[in-house]
A and B are shown apart, each in its own frame.
Chain A
Amino acid sequence: MRKVYSRIDSIVGNVINVNAEGVRYGELAVVSSRYGDSLAEVIRMRGNEVSLQVYNGGRGISTGDEVRFTGHPMQVSFSDNLLGRIFDGSGQPRDNGPQLTDNLIEIGGPSVNPAKRIIPRNMIRTGIPMIDLFNTLVESQKLPIFSVSGEPYNPLLARIAMQAEVDVIILGGIGLKHDDYLYFKDTLENGGALSRTIMFVHTASDPVVEALLVPDISLAVSEKFALEGKRVLVLLTDMTNFADAMKEIAITQEQVPSNRGYPGDLYSQLASRYEKAVDFEGAGSITILGVTTMPGDDVTHPVPDNTGYITEGQYYLRNGRIEPFGSLSRLKQQVNDKTRNDHRAVMDGMIKLYAAYKESQEKKSMGFRMSEWDDKLLKYGTLFERQMMDLSVNIPLEEALDRGWQIMAECFEPQETGLKSELISSFWPKEKAEEASA
């Protein structure tokens, strides 16, 4: 039996101090207050003074409450029984299902040995040209959607989840609005995907410390499924809430902030989660799609900034469209040479032309006379936005490539595209060329 302590020496924010012996770093305790039991984790020790972070928060805790150490760190049950279930951030059922206690696994486990990783090789098809053609998503990639509140990032996440060929979907909701939680639930249910989905949901009204647990719990479970050979897609929304929870806790603990109040280890903390994305040789994989809302629509804000340095690219969702600038899939080159031989060239060429279009558009808005070239670009930009960027477009990659050539041929002479002559001779649409010269 583990020792029970009935004296709490101090309560600061969500952290309590207890005088205790034989405690281990990272150990879990149960704090019983008149509002019920809460889990708490050892985060600092000096002599017999043990500091614990209380998952349900410090509110209402009394110095006379009981603290019982469990002798183990935070754990979660793992089995197929998880499928179709909904839990909160500390792994307690949120649906009406039974509590699961079999086969407990630790969360926040060690990193994969880089020598055991393999080069990602499978494209994940989404039917969205701005992804499939321009920034291909790859199995085992970690990639956030950069956006601002009001944008349809959760519907986009749900759409990709429904369209992607994966075995298990794990939704980690952090500070999720209740409406959004219901939206995910309904969409997955209507799409018949609920039975292969597990949700760990922390909503905006839940205790802040629990927000910290959601990524770890989601990823620990994902890891086990992946080791069993499953292709797992993890959706984490919204990781800015996760970072803000860390900030809030660091500040109450009087840590020296590094940048706008965020702790100096923000990068390492985010990285240890995102780096769980992996393709296990001979087993399954974990792909992480996150949402990072940018406070003030500022990509240099510490959360999107640190995230961008960690993840393998990002999709910018702005005005309901995935922006070609700033959006990036760093793994695209692992797969886009195996799709069609014009894929890379169309991808680069069309973006360069779109950049030129933006310049012409700017000139136009300043009232300059448009040259013949500017007019071509303006036409191009409009077609590109309507036929490629619009999120309602849902076509396979090959069709998107053909459409790309069509758009270019409708606007330009072949040599104006900057594409290699060899590709032009095999892909430039013949009818369009005749139409144009006629």
Chain B
Amino acid sequence: MTTGNVVAINGNMVSVSVKGDVSMNEVGYIKVEDKRLKAEVIRVRADQAELQVFEDTKGVSVGDEVEFTAELLAVELGPGLLSTVCDGLQNPLPELAEQAGFFLQRGLYLKALDRSRKWTFTPSVAEGDTLAAGDEVGSVPEGIFRHRIMVPFGWRGSFTVTSIKAEGDYTIDETVAEVTDEDGNTRSITMVFEWPVKRAIDAYAERQRPEEPMVTKVRIIDTFLPVARGGTYCIPGPFGAGKTVLQQITSRNADVDIVIIAACGERAGEVVETLREFPELIDPKTGKSLMERTVIICNTSSMPVAAREASVYTAVTIAEYYRQMGLNVLLLADSTSRWAQAMREMSGRLEEIPGEEAFPAYLESVIAAFYERAGVVRLRNGETGSVTIGGTVSPAGGNFEEPVTQATLKVVGAFHGLSRARSDARKYPSIDPMDSWSKYPSLVDLQMVEYARDILEKGDEVGQMMKVVGEEGTALADYILFQKGEFLDAVYLQQNAFDPVDAAVGVDRQRHVFDILFRILGSKLRIDSKEKARTFFYNLRQKFIDYNGAEWESDDFNSLESEIVKMLEDVSDGLEPNAEQAYNKRGSNA
């Protein structure tokens, strides 16, 4: 074992003179009083290494002993990860609390997975079978999922099965299979292995293009700014604009198998809401509690900064692991800016040459590499799995022209920019429909979406003009366009996250409601004054808001819909020509 001694201390960075070999990103422990503080090597120069310590360094002294582990910073992968709540280094927080009480205690590290719990293992290989890294040797049921037990991803070459356990109950540390490698050495496979968090798991056949929509049940997203399974998206926005609420509702409603929540350097209280509420909330798709499909990695703002840097990697590694089982996984990281800031703090202590706003020069490539870990993959057994990544960004001063937002925009497939003006006006979710974009396909007909977007843009232009020329200087036709845009915004783009019904709108309902909305937007209206136009749209809006709050396909829903349709028919002269054309061809470009 390589050892060393502390020679310098500056905040959470400790310099160590090393006796022996040491590798980059290797884990070491600093022995202080009766504690061992976990740290990661972040620079090696001759026989001196710089370590970022995952703990408060109070009490560390020059000369203190350091032990290196020869292992990179890694997480445990195995059954039992689902519904756990861990810190950035995968220490289970409820178990830490059992041992240490209200406060986190430095130097206390616990295994993420339960060692005593037994899992019902069913083998899926036989003696003599040949396997490679990532291949299945059997499975155990984990909640509603079939958790695949695999050959550790880091093993190179091919392996022949020499023994395999019969169906039965085993702990994760018991050997379930023995194999020999190409050189005839025997190795045992248990249900748990480690993987270094900063390396992407690549035990798959090929990567595919993300095309299938990942439904969030948020109308403005699914219809106008969709996200694809295996895709990436970001949510930049000033504080209070609604980034966290948007991620919280997505973590509940997203149509995926598993959700990994990375609470990275933001408020602890926000995680607590998820933590306390998810076990009580039933996932309509599975009938089980939402917690059973969720993993929470929680390294909030007052927890050690170096562990915050690690937390997003811990999260994405767990996401990739479940992807290897043919599942669709969504990783939500709030906020990637705090992760970038953790890098900045460390870069400053290393006295690296700073880039813009003192972020390190490698910021862009690190962000790009992180989002690259999303994707749809075809596994070697022919199944597909995906990791979708959605990250919030907290730009300084709410200004998107800053390094983290800009670096992120270069690599993601969809941009949901939150606007202060919209959140101030309580227009939630406050995604700016004009500035935001998505490269992924929508749930509804593309041409109809374009038509609606066009109304929104033109309506907005009229609105801007009206600020200059006044309502009296605006033509009736333009005024109606303006009202249509406002109406679309009020009843479709805005959605009340705290209304039991409106909070989550499924695919069928979105398609159905968009159809009606489209007919309103596309209609030639027989209205002869601005005052009447305003009243008409206000009344229609009122009905539509009630309609949005009515249970899907309930009597209330149906009767409100008839009233809306009747209100429209009373003044409609049919569709505008280009609306009619889009409407008649609908479905052909879905």
Residues of B within 8 A of A46 (CB): 7-8, 15, 62
Report if A255-B348 is in contact (Cβ < 8 Å); known contacts: A120-B269, A352-B425, A363-B470.
yes
Closest B residue to A336 by beta carbon equals B498
Report if A110-B399 is in contact (Cβ < 8 Å); known contacts: A265-B305, A416-B538.
no
On whether the beta carbons of A45 and B9 are closer than 8 Å, the reply is yes
Give complex CA distance A309, B266 in Å: 8
Stretch from B89-97, B158-166, B216-224 that touches the partner: B89-97
Closest B residue to A263 by beta carbon equals B348
On whether the beta carbons of B358 and A280 are closer than 8 Å, the reply is no
In the complex, how many angstroms separate the beta carbon of B493 from the nearest chain A beta carbon? 15
In the complex, how many angstroms separate the beta carbon of A207 from the nearest chain B beta carbon? 22
Report if A112-B104 is in contact (Cβ < 8 Å); known contacts: A117-B269, A255-B348, A300-B398.
yes
A114's partner among B8, B93, B359, B530 (CB-CB below 8 A) is B93
On whether the beta carbons of A44 and B103 are closer than 8 Å, the reply is no
* CB of B394 within 8 Å of the partner chain: yes
Give complex CA distance A362, B94 in Å: 54
On whether the beta carbons of A110 and B272 are closer than 8 Å, the reply is no
On whether the beta carbons of B396 and A259 are closer than 8 Å, the reply is yes
Give complex CA distance A309, B300 in Å: 12
* CB of B545 within 8 Å of the partner chain: yes
Residues of A within 8 A of B275 (CB): 114-115
Instruction: Report which residue of A113, A352, A371 has the largest number of chain B beta carbons within 10 angstroms of its beta carbon.
Output: A113
Give complex CA distance A390, B291 in Å: 45
Stretch from A19-27, A198-206, A401-409 that touches the partner: A19-27
In the complex, how many angstroms separate the beta carbon of B281 from the nearest chain A beta carbon? 14
* CB of B122 within 8 Å of the partner chain: no
- Total B residues in contact with A, Cβ cutoff 8 Å: 79
In the complex, how many angstroms separate the beta carbon of B389 from the nearest chain A beta carbon? 21
In the complex, how many angstroms separate the beta carbon of A363 from the nearest chain B beta carbon? 7
Residues of B within 8 A of A34 (CB): none
On whether the beta carbons of B267 and A275 are closer than 8 Å, the reply is yes
B93's partner among A26, A113, A257, A348 (CB-CB below 8 A) is A113
Stretch from A57-65, A125-133, A173-181, A266-274 that touches the partner: A266-274
On whether the beta carbons of B10 and A44 are closer than 8 Å, the reply is yes
Report if A351-B348 is in contact (Cβ < 8 Å); known contacts: A119-B272, A313-B240, A369-B471.
no
On whether the beta carbons of A114 and B358 are closer than 8 Å, the reply is no
Residues of B within 8 A of A305 (CB): 239, 396-398
Residue-wise, chain A 277-307 has the 8 Å CB interface mask toward B (1 for contact) of 0001000000000000000000011100100
Residues of A within 8 A of B59 (CB): 24-27, 73
* CB of B229 within 8 Å of the partner chain: no
On whether the beta carbons of B358 and A258 are closer than 8 Å, the reply is yes
> In residues 328-353 of chain B, which contact A (Cβ within 8 Å)?
338, 341, 344-345, 348
Instruction: Report which residue of A114, A117, A309, A362 has the largest number of chain B beta carbons within 10 angstroms of its beta carbon.
Output: A114
On whether the beta carbons of A119 and B102 are closer than 8 Å, the reply is no
On whether the beta carbons of B545 and A420 are closer than 8 Å, the reply is yes
Closest A residue to B344 by beta carbon equals A264
Give complex CA distance A275, B97 in Å: 17
> In residues 343-394 of chain A, which contact B (Cβ within 8 Å)?
344, 348, 351-352, 355, 362-363, 366, 368-369, 371-373
Give complex CA distance A289, B239 in Å: 18
On whether the beta carbons of B272 and A114 are closer than 8 Å, the reply is yes
Give complex CA distance A263, B397 in Å: 16
Identify 5 new A-B residue pairs, CB closer than 8 A, beyond the known A268-B341, A268-B345, A348-B426.
A110-B104, A116-B102, A264-B348, A305-B396, A421-B542
Considering the complex of A and B, which 5 residue pairs feature the smallest CB-CB distances, nearest first? Answer: A300-B397, A368-B470, A271-B301, A275-B302, A26-B58
A-B contact pairs, 15 of them (CB 8 A): A26-B58, A44-B9, A73-B59, A113-B96, A113-B100, A113-B102, A119-B273, A259-B358, A272-B302, A275-B267, A302-B397, A333-B498, A344-B498, A348-B426, A352-B425
